[in-house]
């Protein structure tokens, strides 16, 4: 990233709240994330509530005639999108461990979530 | 302050676009700048010129047009979301072999890059109807 880009960069936080496949939300959110990356803007993803289910491994979206969200998630690192957080209470609610998710994620509690929102310039929720 | 508004919801099914319109009027009246209104997901239905509501109901496409003409606003509709939902300008209608176009006057189709660019240039970016 050139110094010029850095000066004009905004930190984007994209918040996902819904499970995959029930609506287009997960895909629509990832489209924004990839576009931010093309514009060389730093992106953080935060999965809250049922949004954590997007990160389950071994999804078979094809059975629902949908594209597998895991495939797009696997490409995030290529776009330098590696700052990914999950709501620790949602993990507990769904009996999940961060280590068992499809891509590396950091679990965060409600205080850390508040800090994340405060630290970012642009916060977009789907 | 420079604002950008992002609208995710259809004006028929949700109050969010009406709230966004009122927010837009309020911020302009307060002397702020509205850099862009970006219509994403079902928000593209705000630009459907064929929407035909009852005479005593508001028409969001014409309300946006009136505000845009008064304040020279940039009303951008996500092209990928719009094409999927059948909101097309004459270029896209030709490209997809459709017999008519229905993008309302005052709106233009463009990419998600316009959302990101607007966010970079704005002090505040507010999402309406984002959940769901």
pLDDT per position as a tens digit, B61-91:
999 999 999 999 999 999 999 999 999 999 9
Which of B127, B82, B73 has the alpha carbon at shortest distance from B109? B82
Q: Name the residue facing A8 among B6, B81, B120 (closest C-beta).
A: B120
3-state secondary structure of A41: coil
- Beta-carbon neighbour count of residue B115 at 10 Å? 26
**Distance linking the first and last C-alpha atoms of chain A:** 28
Q: Is B78 known to be catalytic? A: yes
Confidence category of residue B132, pLDDT binned at 50, 70, 90: low
Instruction: Name residue A86's beta-bridge partners.
Output: A47, A107
What residues does each domain of chain A span? 3-125
| Chain B neighbors of A23, CB-CB under 8 A | 132
Which of A115, A90, A17 has the alpha carbon at shortest distance from B8? A17
Quote the minimal CA–CA distance from B44 to chain A in Å.
13
* ipTM tops the 0.85 cut: yes
pLDDT digits (tens, 9 = 90+) for B28-58: 999 999 999 999 999 999 999 999 999 999 9
| Chain B neighbors of A28, CB-CB under 8 A | 40-41, 81
CATH 3.40.50.620 is right for the domain spanning A3-125? no
Domains within chain B, CATH numbers bracketed: 2-128 (3.40.1260.10)
User: What is residue A15's DSSP assignment?
Assistant: E
Which residue among B67, B78, B118, B125 is the active-site one?
A: B78
Q: What is the pLDDT of residue A2?
A: 47
Sheet containing A83-87: order of strands: A106-108, A83-87, A43-47, A12-16, A122-125
């Amino acid at each position: 990233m050139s110094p010029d880009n850095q000066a004009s960069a905004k930190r984007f936080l994209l918040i996902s709240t819904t499970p995959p496949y029930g609506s287009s939300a997960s895909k629509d959110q990832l489209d924004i994330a990839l576009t931010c990356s093309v514009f060389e803007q730093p992106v953080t993803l935060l999965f809250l509530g049922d949004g954590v289910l997007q990160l389950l491994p071994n999804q078979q979206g094809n059975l629902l005639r949908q594209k597998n969200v895991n495939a797009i998630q696997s490409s995030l690192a290529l776009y330098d999108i590696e700052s990914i957080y999950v709501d620790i209470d949602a993990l507990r609610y769904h009996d999940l461990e961060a280590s068992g998710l499809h891509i590396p994620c950091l679990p965060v509690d409600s205080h850390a979530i508040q800090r994340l929102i405060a630290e970012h310039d642009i916060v977009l929720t789907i | 302050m420079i604002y950008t508004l992002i609208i995710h919801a259809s004006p028929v099914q949700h109050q969010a676009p009406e709230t966004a319109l009122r927010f837009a009027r309020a911020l302009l009246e307060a002397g702020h700048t509205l850099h862009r209104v970006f219509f994403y997901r079902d928000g593209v239905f705000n630009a459907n010129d064929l929407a035909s509501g009852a005479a005593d109901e508001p028409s969001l496409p014409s309300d946006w047009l009136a505000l845009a003409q008064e304040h020279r606003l940039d009303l951008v509709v996500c092209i990928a979301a719009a094409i999927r939902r059948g909101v097309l300008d004459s270029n896209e209608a030709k490209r997809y072999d459709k017999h008519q176009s229905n993008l309302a006057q005052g709106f233009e189709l463009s990419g998600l890059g316009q959302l990101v660019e607007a966010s970079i240039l704005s002090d505040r970016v507010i999402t309406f109807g984002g959940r769901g």
